[in-house]
C-alpha cells in the first residue's frame, strides 16, 4: 500500500473512558477525517441492514450510571439525562429513585444481550452449531439529552459481538463492534447428593471485566404482541455519527430469577458495580429481527 494511504486505527480500551472516543468524534462531524475501512465502498447500503433469525435468548440489564463518571467525556452536543427526567423510565429504576431519591440524578443505562441462530448481512450468514456459542449481539447504552433542545436520546457506548466476523460486519455498517468472550450453560456446581444444578449461567468477558448471571426462568410466560423497537446514536467508525434501529418480533417473554455479579477492577467494572440496581429481564425467546444503521 502506498505510504500516503490513510492508516486505520481501532478504538482503545473499552471501559467507560471509551466515551473519550465519542468526544473526539465531534471533530469528525465537522468534516475532518478520511474514511479508512479497506475494502468498503462509500455507500455499502447492503452492509447496513442485518437480518437476525431465530432469537434464542435476549435480555437486558437495567442500570443507573453516576453522571460524574461520564459527563466530562460526553461531546458538547449531549449531557447525561437524570433518571428523574427520563420519560420512559423502567419500572425497576422508578422503584429505586422512589425509595432512594439521591439516585434520581443518576442516568438510566442498560446492557442488552441477544443470541441468535443466524446473523445475515447481504449474502453472508453467520451461524454456530454449538448452542453455547450462538452469534451474540450486545448493546450498552446510556440515556442522554441533546444540549440544545433537551430532547432525550439513547447513546450507544459499546456494541459487542462474540465473533471476529461480527466485527467485520460492523465495519461494513460503519460502526465499531468489539469482540467479547461469551458462554451459556448450566451452573457448574453439584449439591451434597451429587446432583448437578439445574440453574442456567450466562457469562460475558470483555477486556478485564466479567459479567455472570446465575438463575432460572419462572413458570410465568406470556406471548409478545407486536414489534419491540429501540433506537440509538453512536460515533461512526469513519467520520460523523451513525444511528441504529433494532426491531425484534419475539414469540415469548419469561421472567428471570437469579443473581448477577460483576468481576474486575477496570473502569467498566467499577461503573457497573456502582449501580444501585442491576435488574435482569425479562428474557425474550423465538422470533426474528432486524438491525439497521444509517449515517447521519
Predicted confidence band of residue 14 (pLDDT cuts 50, 70, 90)? very low
For 229, phi then psi, to 5°, come to: -130, 140
Predicted confidence band of residue 44 (pLDDT cuts 50, 70, 90)? low
State residue 31's pLDDT score: 41
Q: How far is CA 57 from the centre of its chain?
A: 14
State residue 43's pLDDT score: 52
Q: Which range among 34-43, 129-138, 253-262 shows the weakest confidence by mean pLDDT? A: 34-43
User: CA-to-CA distance for 282 and 142, rounded, in angstroms?
Assistant: 19
State residue 195's pLDDT score: 84
CATH class of the region 16-27+46-183+217-295: mainly beta
State residue 42's pLDDT score: 47
- In the chain, % of residues over pLDDT 90: 69
Identify whether 282 is preceded by a cis peptide bond (ω within 30 of 0). yes
* DSSP codes of every residue in 92-141: HHHHHHHH-GGGGGSEEEEEEEEEEEEEEETTEEEE-SSGGG--EEEEEE
For residue 280, pLDDT beyond 90? yes
Predicted confidence band of residue 190 (pLDDT cuts 50, 70, 90)? confident
Give the count of alpha carbons within 13 A of 6, CB side only. 9
The larger pLDDT score, comparing residue 195 to residue 165, is at 165
| pTM of the predicted structure, to 2 decimals | 0.83
Percent helix, percent strand, percent coil in the chain, to nearest 5: 20, 45, 35
Mean pLDDT of the 84-107 span: 96
Give the domain ranges of the chain.
16-27+46-183+217-295
State residue 211's pLDDT score: 97
Amino acid at each position: 500500500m502506498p505510504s500516503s494511504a490513510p492508516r486505520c486505527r481501532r478504538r482503545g480500551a473499552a471501559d467507560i473512558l471509551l466515551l473519550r472516543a465519542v468526544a473526539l468524534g465531534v471533530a469528525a462531524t465537522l468534516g475532518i477525517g478520511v474514511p479508512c475501512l479497506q475494502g468498503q465502498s462509500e455507500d455499502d447500503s447492503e452492509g447496513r441492514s442485518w437480518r437476525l433469525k431465530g432469537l434464542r435468548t435476549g435480555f437486558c440489564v437495567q442500570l443507573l450510571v453516576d453522571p460524574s463518571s461520564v459527563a466530562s467525556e460526553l461531546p458538547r452536543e449531549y449531557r447525561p439525562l437524570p433518571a428523574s427526567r427520563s420519560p420512559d423510565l423502567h419500572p425497576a429504576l422508578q422503584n429505586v429513585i422512589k425509595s432512594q431519591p439521591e439516585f434520581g440524578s443518576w442516568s438510566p443505562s442498560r446492557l442488552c444481550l441477544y443470541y441468535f441462530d443466524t446473523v445475515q448481512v447481504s449474502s453472508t450468514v453467520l451461524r454456530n452449531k454449538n448452542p453455547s456459542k450462538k452469534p451474540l449481539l450486545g448493546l450498552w447504552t446510556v440515556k442522554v439529552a441533546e444540549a440544545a433542545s433537551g430532547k432525550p436520546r439513547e447513546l450507544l457506548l459499546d456494541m459487542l459481538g462474540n465473533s471476529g466476523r461480527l466485527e467485520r460486519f460492523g465495519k461494513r455498517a460503519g460502526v465499531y463492534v468489539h469482540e467479547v468472550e461469551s458462554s451459556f450453560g448450566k451452573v457448574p456446581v453439584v449439591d451434597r447428593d451429587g446432583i448437578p444444578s439445574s440453574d442456567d449461567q450466562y457469562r460475558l468477558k470483555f477486556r478485564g471485566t466479567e459479567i455472570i448471571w446465575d438463575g432460572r426462568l419462572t413458570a410465568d410466560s406470556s406471548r409478545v404482541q407486536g414489534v419491540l423497537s429501540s433506537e440509538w446514536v453512536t460515533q461512526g467508525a469513519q467520520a460523523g455519527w451513525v444511528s441504529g434501529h433494532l426491531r425484534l418480533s419475539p414469540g415469548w417473554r419469561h421472567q428471570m430469577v437469579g443473581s448477577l455479579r460483576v468481576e474486575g477492577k477496570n473502569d467498566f467494572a467499577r461503573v457497573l458495580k456502582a449501580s444501585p440496581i442491576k435488574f435482569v429481564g425479562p428474557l425474550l425467546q423465538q422470533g426474528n429481527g432486524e438491525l439497521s444503521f444509517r449515517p447521519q
